[in-house]
Structure 1
Amino acid sequence: MAETKSNWKPEWKRDIVYLHVFPRAMAKCIPNISPFAMKLEMWLRMNEIPYQIVDHMGFSSKSQTPFIMFNEDEIPDSNFIIEYLSKHFKKDPYPGINVEQQAVGRSFLKMVEENTAWSIFWYRYVEHMQEYMEYIKFQVPEEMQEKVGAGLSSSVKDRAWKHGIGRHSNEEIYKIGSDDIRAISAYLGKKKYFLGETPSLIDCTLFGFLVQIIFVPLDFPMKVVIQEECSNVLDYINRLKTEFWPHWDDQQL
């Protein structure tokens, strides 16, 4: 693994996870604009693993964010980070959950990260970047905010085209995201957690992405579906927020 000594906190300690994420100050309404960062921090909280947030505008050796610095190693990619830390701290990402249910969890995880995510990114970065900039502040001088926002919008649009989802109409993209929400709601039903009575990795993933829709005051079409058709999803996310982010509302995160 590549070493990135310039990213180390000078007082780093062994077995402390140094979670490098976009600065909290960039976001309003939620702790982080990155759903992957939210997912990873949720997993650390859920498993009571000691960590410290490191506000960092850079990227890992894989050009990704978030990443962690841990015991002299840089570890990128949220899923590989969780796999690595699960082994190190002897944590089960799906505690007490049978292999069939774990397969369901993995399937929904991949759906959200590889599919649903694009409906969120398309709405806020491509179609409504100007509006979204009321809830995001780039770490650049004020006169450069618009330019950076335009560059990000163009980059996301290009990546979405290469992914394939960007070749669809806006309505088709939001239908994809909305149908994913309906599938999440149908499987969740009245359960406390997504796979039953025990919280697991899939709950972290769903939380990380759905808070980007629920708590940012933009008119996501997927939010309308949650509010009008899938109230169980809204209740579920609020339960997770209350349980694992008790100081969310007073910003003592």
Structure 2
Amino acid sequence: MNTIINYFTENRLSSTILVSVVTLVALKKIFGKKEDITKEFQKDIVYVYEFGATTSQGVPSNSPFCAKVLLFLEFANIPYKRVPSRPTGPRSKLPFIYYNGQFVYDSQFILEFLMKEFNVTQLVPQDDALATRDLVIRKFFDDTMTPVTMYPRWYDEKYSPTFINGVIVVPPYLAFIRNYVVKNIRKQLYASGIGRYPAEEVYKMGRDYIDAISNLLGAQQFFLGDTLSLCDLTAFCLLIQFRYSPLAKNPLSDYLATKQNICEYIDRVKHTLCTEEKWNLLLDSRNNLYYRK
């Protein structure tokens, strides 16, 4: 054994090749094609594929989109199991679900599918004007607020290390996996445009958006009045990333904390969506988890 160690210590080229081979094997094992496990799934259970390589603190998921699906299932009392996964499928995104032989991708289409399949109508506005308002608010949070939320978590060197090291927990010899994930997310943020802005401009945009949210909400119980709607579920799952996650302390979370009506709204939606007991169970990512037989 000592002879082998001495050989690779004295031969840098061989050491580099060895490290490269080990890295490729590890990446292939983690990100490569996996066997089909759906044959083991039970009938009439919704299987939610969500990020499995990260840990969450204070929130059901670090992804607002995964959290949205999980909380909808809890709200509607639909039986489900959580499947730790990686972004796969035709869209290379999470979450997606498997239900009785059918895959459904994208949180918006997942919710539409589940509402139809299980006849869930409580969150859908019946008035056309309110339905339009609901859609616009959902798109604002999904498409406009999400990149701003991701910036301090993944891109800003001042705040991102706390979040990254907190959610991607790997031993030191596998740090390259974390670096690989972060590099790819930063590429996506740069490609989307938000990564090209200096931090002060991103946080200025974020504060403006939070002001707009506060003004739009006003003194209402929910965004459309006195009744919880889909847009509240969408808004809640993004806003909790600022309010409830201890890993996401940044200028935007600090600014949101100054908006009393938003903070009260977040707590109100939480208690409307599920009981405290269900919420605590959701925070434990090991709960309701699918296990291989």
1:180-233, Cα deviation, whole Å (9 max, x unpaired): 2222211212222221222121111111111111112233222222112x1111
- Measure, in 2, the Cα distance between the counterparts of 1:93 and 1:242: 16
Q: 1:24 to 1:158 in 2, by over 3 A?
A: closer
- Letter of the 1:137 partner, please give it: I
| TM alignment of 1:1-253, pairs within 5 A | 6-8=36-38, 10-14=40-44, 16-23=45-52, 26-92=55-121, 94-127=123-156, 128-138=159-169, 141-144=171-174, 146-217=175-246, 218-228=248-258, 230-243=259-272, 244-247=274-277, 248-249=279-280, 251=283
Q: CA deviation at 1:109?
A: 1.3
8 Å Cα contact 2:59/2:241 also seen in 1: yes
Q: What residue identity is the alignment partner of 1:224?
A: D
Cα drift, residue 118 of structure 1: 0.9
State the aligned residue count.
Answer: 246
Q: What's the offset of the Cα at 1:55? A: 2.3
Structure possessing the higher radius of gyration over alpha carbons = 2
Structure 1 unaligned regions, length at least 5: none
Q: Give the unaligned 5+ runs of structure 2.
A: 1-33, 288-293
CA distance in 1, matches of 2:92, 2:54: 21
Under a length normalisation based on structure 1, what TM-score does the superposition of the two structures give? Answer: 0.86
Native 8 Å contact 1:25 1:137 kept in 2: yes
- Note the alpha carbon deviations across 1:82-122, whole angstroms, 9 max, x for none: 11122222223743442212212211211111121111111
CA distance 1:31–1:161, change in 2 (3 Å): same
Q: Deviations over 1:136-191 (max 9, x none)?
A: 134x54421x3233323322222122212222211111222222222221121222
Pairwise CA RMSD = 2.4
Q: 1:239 to 1:73 in 2, by over 3 A?
A: same
Residue identity (%): 28
TM-score of the superposed pair, with normalisation by structure 2 = 0.75
8 Å CA contact retained: 2:168, 2:178? no
- For 1:168 and 1:176, how far apart are their aligned partners in 2? 10
